[in-house]
Amino acid sequence: MIYLDHAATSPLRLAAREAMLPYLDGRFGNPSGLYAAGREAQAAVDRARATVAECLNARPAEVLFTSGGTESINSAMLGIAYALRRAGAGNHVVTTAIEHHAGLHVAQHLEELGFDVTTIGCDHSGRVQLEEFRAALRPETVLASVMFANNEVGTVQPIAELAEVIREYSQGREHRIALHSDAVQAPEWFQLDVKALGVDALSLSAHKFGGPKGAGVLYLRRGVPFRPLLHGGGQEMQKRAGTENVAGIAGTAVALAIASTDVDGRSAKVRALRERLREGICAAIPDAELNGCQTNCLPNNLNVSFEGIESDALVARLDARGIAASSGSACSNSTWEPSHVLMAMGVPIRRAVASIRFSLGESTTAAEIDEVLAILPGEVAGVAASLAAR
């Protein structure tokens, strides 16, 4: 298999697997236990927390372990918005139309809970505009949630600039607007420094950067009001109830530490392969159209539309040839509908339903890209011919 769907999930790093194994076997203690096995498990969690904090330029007490990106995003948005509303800060939330469904659906839930939610758009490249963001802020705004990089088209958002807009707007006000960012796609490709970004909360998912599935991270800046999403115990500094997934946490920390090393070199290598794929597609299939920003973007993400096809049919044909790609966000593959991201960008529906996402990884090779380029034009033509014959 030529695997070009790293935005959906990535293979478990060997070092992360090895870090997990002891806690899947003999070192099975509950971190809440006061006996030796429990203290050993707690020590593993503490070491992992310190490692993740160092990777993010955060304090260990600002790092919470979760079950994945979805829980982290839900916890950040619901926990901060609800706590600030209870504190009398306001009832308004700002987000964007291009968020992952884990964020969009939380925004809808917040509306059901009585919050007023403003959803701003983006330009044709998928980039949020600072002026529109600034105009959406109100005295009663308590939270803004904007993803770091889009999972479908790869466009990177100006998070530090958005944080500066919030700082300027909040001057002289009793309550500062909190900024959360879904940074699930960012590790491996960007050095994440929460202080430089100016975020109050940041969400990660371990399996996107070589860690295990079912594990995630939520950075929560010290002092930010927060109401836990999960109740029942005092784990994770009383912010996330439930017995810790010690093995998953250990694997997450090791994977993030590796992902945070040689980011520039890794990004440059994979970006060159992405450009090889992009240039080859444009040369072999002249009516192919690229979606998303082609410069300020994830180095591993290429979203392209092919005239006269349906993306699911092409994904199936590529799969039969041993190539794994995606027709959009992995979380939306069970329903056939145009990408909400492409629609928000103003992409015509005929292009939106004909879009394919190739997402490369550290293990992708030039030979694999060349094989894809040898196979893809014929499969695109085959799908187009089949649809034309209907």
Question: What residues are labeled active site?
Answer: 331
Based on its alpha-carbon atoms, the radius of gyration of the chain, rounded to whole angstroms, reads 21
Beta strands in the chain (DSSP E): 2-3, 63-66, 92-96, 116-120, 141-145, 178-182, 201-205, 216-220, 289-291, 301-305, 323-324, 355-359
Would you say the C-alpha torsion 346, 348, 352, 353 has a positive or negative sign? positive
What φ, ψ does residue 202 adopt, rounded to 5°? -150, 135
3-class DSSP assignment, residue 167: helix
Residues 6+ apart with CB under 8 A from 316: none
Distance between CA atoms of residues 12 and 40, nearest Å: 24
- Name residue 144's beta-bridge partners: 94, 179
How many CB atoms sit inside 10 A of residue 322's CB?
Answer: 12
Distance between CA atoms of residues 176 and 12, nearest Å: 39
Do 66 and 249 meet the contact criterion of CB atoms below 8 Å apart? no
